[in-house]
Amino acid sequence: MEELTKNLWLLLTIVLPGMATYGVFRLLIVFYDCKADTAVFEKLDNSTLVSACLVAAIALMQQAISIGIEALLAQIVKLFQKQIPNYYQFFCNRFQMLATGKLTDGSTRIFGYFFTSVNITIGQLLLLAYLLHAGLNYGNEPVRIVTVLVLAGIVSSWFRLCNAVSIIPTVMETIAKE
């Protein structure tokens, strides 16, 4: 069961965000002329291995940026740990909480949802940067669509962070009881 949990965590926080970014990118190319070289995508579509590697590369890049953001947030909450103890527990002691084995599946999922939202938002930011670099501007529909996705990602990340932090007292009570 522990291996299944680890694999689900990996899938939830790394693979799915990479697939979401690549999927949105491909949909934009299908529905809008984003000046993409369609011959490159035909070759990608003919190789499952290359497509999987591309999704994995996107996912790992998103995860690396996310880990950097998480480290920055951890340093910030350390400065204010007395004022925002639940945020401190979430960012700095999350792995100790997970290691106790006393977290419910729901608590683990709530923690994972936050990181999934952050990773997907990072992917959409990277996609927005690509579109802007490719010469599109905010007057183009693909850029507006991705901008809306970025804003939705920021809102959902904040909402999911609030959810994760709100369950910290319950998690700490559960850990303290045993």
pLDDT for the residue numbered 2: 58
Inter-CA distances, 59 with 53, 98, 174, Å: 10, 23, 34
- DSSP conformation class of 167: T
CA separation for the pair 149, 97 (Å, rounded): 32
pLDDT for the residue numbered 80: 96
pLDDT tens-place string over residues 52-94:
888 888 888 888 899 999 999 999 999 999 999 999 999 998 8
**Residue ranges per structural domain of the chain:** 2-177
pLDDT for the residue numbered 162: 96
Spans of the chain, pLDDT less than 70: 1-13, 33-41, 178
pLDDT for the residue numbered 55: 82
